[in-house]
Amino acid sequence: MLCEVCGKNQAFIYYEEKVKHQVRKIHLCRECASKEGISSVFAESYFNISDIITSLSGGVKPDEASGKQAVCKHCGTTYEEFIKSGLLGCCQCYNYLEDSLKPLFRRIHGSTHHTGKAFPNSIKPEVCDDELVDLEEQLKQAVAREEFELAAELRDRLRSLKNQCSPSDLAGTPEKRNNVSDK
């Protein structure tokens, strides 16, 4: 097998990446592997992320029902373009392409809601009802399909979300932030 980087020398080493049950390998010759050194071990990914996006979005057909192409009115990026490159064009894409992105988020992250640090200048988190309904629906389906491991995980998430959504904590994230920066 020839080295997939230079295409000239015989490959004898391979770089391997396991992400989400997908194993990807790239075969390298001694010279190319030498050039990479630890930097390739430390790289975020040797592979184009669009491959992952494309494979994950396989079942998601954009706007099949409405018949029109989803496009971001701010930067002009279409869903098709996004699937090809794996990259969105601007922050507004998250609004304009939301319907197509949601199922993708679920496949990539198993979630469609952020739970971490909040940006201080942003408005306070919207009520989580939306996600609660979402999760309860997923839980019902998981139980119906007898995927109990998934169901247990969803139940845990529901529980922690319900705690988070208690009114006292709704605007709690900015405070958390301040504590950290005081250190």
Partner 1 sequence: MFQISDLFHRVSGWLAQPDKNQSSIVISSRVRLARNLTDFNFTNCNPPEKQDEVIRLIENSLADSKLFAEATLWRLSDLTSVERQFLLERQLISRKLVMNHNYAAVAVERSENFSFMVNEEDHLRLQTIRAGLSLGEAYRIIDTVDSELGDRLNFGFSTRYGYLTACPTNTGTGLRASVMVHLPALVKSKQIRKILPAVSRFNLAIRGIFGEGTDVMGNLFQISNQLTLGKNELETIDNIEQIAHKLIGYEEETRVLLLEDQKRKLPDQIWRAYGTLKYARNLNLTEAMELISLIRLGIDLGIITQVSYSCLNKILLFIHSSHLLLKSGVGSELSHSKVNTMRADFMREELE
**Single-letter residue type at 58:** G
**Distance in Å, CB of 67 to partner 1, minimum:** 24
Q: How far apart are CA 12 and CA 33, in angstroms?
A: 9
Partner in contact with 64, chosen from Zn ion, partner 1, none, beta carbon below 5 to 8 Å by kind: none
Query: Are 94 and 88 in contact, with CB atoms under 8 Å apart?
Result: yes
Contacts with Zn ion, residue ranges (CB under 5 A): 3, 5-6, 9, 29, 32, 72, 74-75, 77, 89-90, 92-93
Site residues for partner 1, 114-143, by CB under 8 A, read 114-126, 130
Among 41, 59, 67, 168, binds partner 1 (CB under 8 A): 41
Among 60, 108, 158, 165, binds partner 1 (CB under 8 A): 108
State both tokens at 166. Answer: 């208690």
Smallest CA-to-CA distance from 112 within 136, 138, 133, 131 is with 131
Q: How far apart are CA 131 and CA 138, in angstroms?
A: 10
Q: Check binding of 4 to partner 1 (CB under 8 A).
A: no
CA atoms within 13 A on the CB side of 53: 17
CA atoms within 13 A on the CB side of 10: 1
State both tokens at 57. Answer: 């979005």
Partner in contact with 144, chosen from Zn ion, partner 1, none, beta carbon below 5 to 8 Å by kind: none
Site residues for partner 1, 44-83, by CB under 8 A, read 44-46, 49, 52-53, 75, 77
Chain residues binding partner 1 by CB under 8 A are: 12-21, 28, 30-31, 33-46, 49, 52-53, 75, 77, 85-91, 94, 101, 104-105, 108-126, 130, 157, 177, 180-181, 183
